[in-house]
Structure 1
Amino acid sequence: MPEDAEILSVTQLTREIRDVLEGHIGSVWVEGEISNHRLQSSGHQYFTLKDAGAQLSCVMFRGAAARSSARIQDGALMQVHGEISVYEPRGQYQMVVKQVQAKGKGSLQERFEALKRQLHAEGLFDKENKRPIPRFPRVVALITSPTGAAIQDMLNILTRRAPWVRVLVFPVRVQGQGAELEIVRALKVLGNAEEYGLPVPDTIVVGRGGGSLEDLWCFNEEVLARAIAACPIPIISAVGHEIDFTIADFVADLRAPTPSAAAELLAPDASELQRHFESIARTLKARVSTLLDHHQHVIDLTAKGPLLHAPERLLQQAEQSTDEAESRLRDALRERLQTLTDDLTQKQHVLAAHHPRVQLAEAVHRSESLSQRLRQSVLHRLDRLNDRLEARGELLKHIGPESVLARGFSYTTNAAGRVLTDAAEVSEGEELVTRLTKGTVRSTAK
C-alpha cells in the first residue's frame, strides 16, 4: 500500500457513498410491488419495493405517512416518490419516501385473488363442507418445519396442557419452490395412515410462523388447496400471524390465527379440564340423588295408596275410564259419519246439476230461444226494408217522367230513341216518335 494512500473508516466511506447517491440521483419516482410492509408504533412505515429483477428498501416517516391517502399493503403495485439515501448503521441504501400513489395490484396478489374467486365459485369454502374439530383428540399430526419456532411452540403447549395427546410430527419445507408438494404428500400419507403403519390422527395442523407474502406463497397454491379439501381428516390451518390470510385458511375446516393458537384449540388446559369433569360429576350426583328421592317418594305413596289395600278400586277406575272413552269414540264416529254423509249429499246435488242430460237440455232450450229471437229479428228487418221500398216507390212515381206526362207534357225521340231537344237536330223526312200520357204518336218531319 502506498504510504500516502488515504485510509477511510467505514463511516467515512458510507457517508461518501450517501453523498454520491443523494447528490447524483436526488428525487425520483419508482414503481414496484410492495412486500414486507411494517407499521411501527411510532407511525413510521417500512416496506420493500420490488420487481422481477431487484428490490429496494423503503422508509416512510410519520409526517409523510400522515399526508398520504394511499393504502400501503403487501401485494399492491405502487408508485413511490422520494430520495435515495443510505442508512449508515447497516450500510444499506434505501429510499426515503415522500409520496405514494396506487398503481394496481401486484402479480402475486392478482394470482391470490383469482384463485380465491375460482375456489369459492367451486364451493371449496362453503361452511357445509367444513368438518368439526374433535374437542378431545387423542392423536394430533403437525405438518410443519422441524426447525422453526412454530413446532416448538405447539409441542410446548400440547405437552403442558394435554400430556395424554399423542403427537405426530411430519417434517416438511414451508417455503420455497416445491414446498407445497411436500405438504400435499404429507396430507396423503396421513389421510391413509394405516397403510403406512401410522396411528390415524384425529386432527391435522398445517402451519408455520409469520413471513412475507412470498414466504407464505406455498400455502396459496391450488394443488395444496385441493389436497386439503380432499383430506378425510379435519384440518386446522395455522399459517403466519393473525393478519396473514392464505388460500389454505379458507379451505381448511378451521383457521387458527397462529400455530400457538391452534395448539391451544386442540388441547384444553388439564386443570381446566379437571374442573370441568368435577363440575359434571357434581351435576350428575345431584341429578341421581333427585331421581332416587323421587322414586322413593313414589314407593312411599304406593305403599299408602289403594294398590296395596284395595287394588280392585284401581281396576274399577280404569274400567270406568275405558267406558267413557268408548262413549266419546262412538259419539265422535257418529258425528264424523254424519259430516261425511252431508258432504256426500251436497256433492251429489252438485253432480246432478252438472249431469250431461241436464246440460244438454239446457243447451237445447238456449238454442231454441236464440233461434226464435233470430227469426223474429229477421222478420222485423224484412218488414222495415219492405216499408222503405214502398216509400221510395211512391217517391219515384212523383218525381219520375210518368208524373210529368200526366200533367200534359210530352217528349219526342228519333227512330234510335234519342230524346230531341232542338229542332235543328231533326232532318226532313226523319221519322219521329212522340210519347204522351197515354200512348205514342208517330210522325214524319217536313
Structure 2
Amino acid sequence: MIRAPPIAMAPPPTLLTVTEFTRLLQEVVEERFSEVWVGGEVSSLRRVASGHTYFTVKDAGAALACALFRYQQKYQRFELAEGEAVALKGRVSVYPPRGTYQLVVDYFEPLGGGALAAAFDALKRKLEQEGLFDPGRKQPLPLLPRRVGIVTSPTGAVIRDIIQVATARFPNCQLLLAPVRVQGAEAAAEIAAAIARLDRRGDCDVLIVGRGGGSMEDLWPFNEEVVVRAVAAATTPIISAVGHETDFTLCDFAADVRAATPSNAAELAFPVKAELLTLLAQRSRSLDLALRRRLDYLAQRLDTAGRILGQQRRRFRDQREHIARQRFDLAAATVAGIGRRREELGRLATRLERHSPRARLASHQARLAGGASRLVHAGATLTTPHHHALRRLAETLDAVSPLAVFRRGYCIATRPGEAAPLTRSADLAPGDPVELRLAEGRAVLRVEG
C-alpha cells in the first residue's frame, strides 16, 4: 500500500490560546446576556454551608446550571423546591478555569399566574397565626399629636398631599419626614429601618407610612415581611396609607389604623384646629354654666344647712338647760333621801340596843361556867378510886410479865420461824441457827459447838 505524502498547511493568520478564546467568549456572552429571563424545572437543588444555593434548571432539551448567592436570598419572596417550575431572572456568568457557564439568579418566582397573590396569601396566613394582625394589639390615635412622623418618598404627590391637608387642618402642626424609596428591591429594608428609627426617637405621637397607587408589584415593598414586622413592633401608633382605597397590603393589617389614601391619613392624624377651637369654646361655656349651676345649688344647700344648724343649736341649748335642772333636782333629792335614811338608821340602832341579847348571853355564860366547874369536880371524885385500883393491877401484871424478866437480862431461844422455845442443848447441832428474843428486838445466832 502506497501512502500519499502529507500536504503541508500554511499557519493560520491569528492563533488564539484557550484563555484568550474563553475571555472573548466571556465578554460576548456576559455582555449579551447581562439580564435574561429563563424558565424551567428545578433539579439537583443543594444549599451549601456558605449560604449559597446551587441548582439546575432544565427542560426536555437542555439544562442550565444556576447559582443563587446568599446576599440575594433575603430579597426573595418564595422558596425554591425540587421539581418546581420557575421563571428566573439573572445574568450569564462564564467561569474560565472550567470553561463552564451558569445563570447567576437575581430574582425568581413560580411559573404560572397569581404568583404574587400566592405569596401575599402565604405570608398573610403565617403572620396571622403569629398574632401580628390581632385587633387587641391596635392602639388608639391621640386626639392632638405633638409631632407626626412620615415614612414615604421625599418626592411625589404623597408627601405634598399630606403636608397640604395637615397644614390646612392644623396650621402649626409639626411633621418629621423620614425619606425612603417606596419601590424596588431596596425599598422594603429602607422602610422598615425608617419606621424603627422614628419609633426609637420617642418624639412622634403618630407615624404615617405610605405611598401613592400602583400595581401589585409597585406596592409589594409594603407586603414584605420585614416591613410588616417593623409596623407590628412599633410602640408608636401607625397609620397605613398605601395606594388607593381599593388597594390592600399586609402593612394595612399590621397598622393600628388604615387610611384610604395618604390625604385621609393626614385627616385621621390631625383634627381641624378651627373646629377644635369651636368645640373647646362650646365646652368651656357648657362647663362654666354647669359650674355656676353647681355653685348655686351648693349655696342653697349651705343656706339650708345653716338654718338647720341654728335650729339644732337652739335645741341643744334647751336640752343642756333641761339637763342642768335635772341634775340639780337629782342632787337635792339625793341629799334629802340620805338624811332621811340616816335618821331612820339611828332609830333602828337605838331599838336594837334596847333589845340586844348581850346581857342575857353573859348571864347564861356565867351559869355555864359554874356548871362546868362542878361537873369537873364531880368527875374527879368519881374516877379517883378507880385510878388507884387500875394502878395496882398494872403493877401486879408487870411483875408476872415475861417482859419484866427480859429487862433483867434474860431471853428466849427459838428456831427461826418457830414459836416453841428451846429448852435443851441436845436439840441443837453445830451450825444450826438460833433466834434470840430480847427485851428490845431480836437476834439470830449460829451454834458452833
Q: Given the two structures, how large is their TM-score scaled by the length of structure 2? A: 0.45
Instruction: Give the structure with higher Rg (CA).
Output: 2
Given the two structures, how large is their TM-score scaled by the length of structure 1?
Answer: 0.45
